[in-house]
Structure 1
């Protein structure tokens, strides 16, 4: 598929947001609480990989759409972009996912008042 493969979310869920909002939110999430983040500038979209039980925690966050279990996310290699998509924070094999508590806070009503994390 042009350098991307549909990876089904069976060990994580994908939380989708607009790219610019996701990049701003990333600055407010401590590195220790951040997991993989995939972006596609052409679609103005970004996908955070979050734990399987994160859907309920993120359900009320207006700027996030949590895709269901087994949803296919079209991913490039972690080493190089493909079809305009690339990893800002690539999966590293450790199983680290974005903490939904921090993600919710970064997108929630108080997000503008959260300090930016040194990246």
Structure 2
């Protein structure tokens, strides 16, 4: 029971951080961009992520099957996803698993020392 409460607290704090980072209009926006990219990379297991806020599109570079060709190159595909609210999109990427909770703990520790 305590683990679930702890996980819920961590997820709640991540929701707060994402909300704050999506609504922050300061010059530190690029600082939070790396947070958003990290969340998207983790959720989609993407090799590369680019967020186009102007056109409200997320560009993902995804590995097709995890295998490589004889030169060691991965099979990759480009995917574009539209969003209307980046905060809502990122909130939906949060997952309650042990691996993700550890990832979120590290993020929260990093951003708590930066503020």
TM-score range, shorter chain: under 0.3
TM-score after normalising by structure 1: 0.27
Larger radius of gyration: 2
Higher relative contact order (CA 8 A, sep 6+): 1
TM-score after normalising by structure 2: 0.28
Greater helix percent: which structure? 2
